Amino acid sequence: MLKRRLSAASYVRKSRVILALDLAATVPVGGGSLAAAERERLSNEARRIIEATADHIAAVKFNRHIVLPLGLYDEVPALIDLVHELGLPAIMDCKINDIGNTNAVITRYYLDAGFDAVIANPIVGWSEGLDRVFKTARERKKGVILLCYMSHPGADEGFGLQVVSDPKKKVYEPLYLRFARMAQLWEADGVIVGATHPEKIREVRQVVGEDIPILTPGVGAQGGNARAAIDAGADYVIVGRSIIKAEDPQAVAQDLASETW
């Protein structure tokens, strides 16, 4: 379901850009009139950017930057409704990474709020780990996207670790390729590979084939190049600060859409 919705939105808009709505509160939002004013500002800014860029993006990815101050069941559902009204899917970047029971609860909360997919970390494994995420999502016909390789400089310290792929032959492979194999085995709806590492995108594409979309963050502020990521095999580029901090978010989103199509 998620793959079809992403593909349809992308085709209609001629864009492979996913907006990362990484807006953050600038003052404490625990309570009081100042907190209320800041939540209102944050919500209005999110609406402005979503509406301005909607014709040039394929989806909107939310992070805890905005979900925590606005509240999962308070103001966030209204933003998700807006995203849906504009014909776009909404992805929650929560990087689920716990035991099965906790994962199931986390997944249910986010999907009940209206999100179309969640992002999870394969490091916890399948049995009583991510099996509960997939089960919960599949019951609701929603998607699960898995991390393979992140976009920050320290990613190699974890995702690049060498693990045994064939104990008998003592053959090793990097953890991100093991995660890619997990994504294929578990029939994930997408994988995350940082745009700052086009060579990793190529390697992961060889493992997951053409059926699993590669979503690549790190374009712009982190140094990744949108066209290079697409040429390396990515299906979608995830862009946050370059759009949300721009004087004209619509123009930046439009330029990136043209660059990626």
CA 33, 244, 151, 195: dihedral to nearest 10 degrees?
160
Residue closest to 196 by CA, chosen among 152, 147, 159, 255: 152
Span 44-97, pLDDT tens digits? 999 999 999 999 999 999 999 999 999 999 999 999 999 999 999 999 999 999
Q: Per-residue pLDDT tens for 150-163? A: 999 999 999 999 99
Residue 30: pLDDT over 80: no
CB 209 within 8 Å of CB 184: yes
Q: Which of 2.30.110.10, 3.40.50.2300, 3.30.300.30, 3.20.20.70 is the CATH number of 2-260?
A: 3.20.20.70
Residue 108 pLDDT grade (very low, low, confident, very high; cuts 50, 70, 90): very high
What is the structure's pLDDT at 246?
Answer: 96
CA 261 – CA 243 distance, rounded (Å): 17
Q: 61 Cβ partners below 8 Å, 6+ apart? A: 18, 19, 20, 21, 90, 91, 92, 93, 238
**Burial class for 25, CB neighbours closer than 10 Å (0-12, 13-18, 19+):** middle
**DSSP class per residue in 68-136:** HHHIIIIIHHHHHHHHHHTT--EEEEEEE-S-HHHHHHHHHHHHHTT-SEEEE-GGG-IIIIIHHHHHH
User: How much is the pLDDT for 31?
Assistant: 74
- Confidence class for position 166, pLDDT limits 50, 70, 90: low
Active site residues: 95
- pLDDT at res. 111: 98
Mean of pLDDT values over 244-248: 96
Domain assignments of the chain as residue spans, ordered by start: 2-260
Backbone angles phi, psi at 104, to 5 degrees: -65, -40
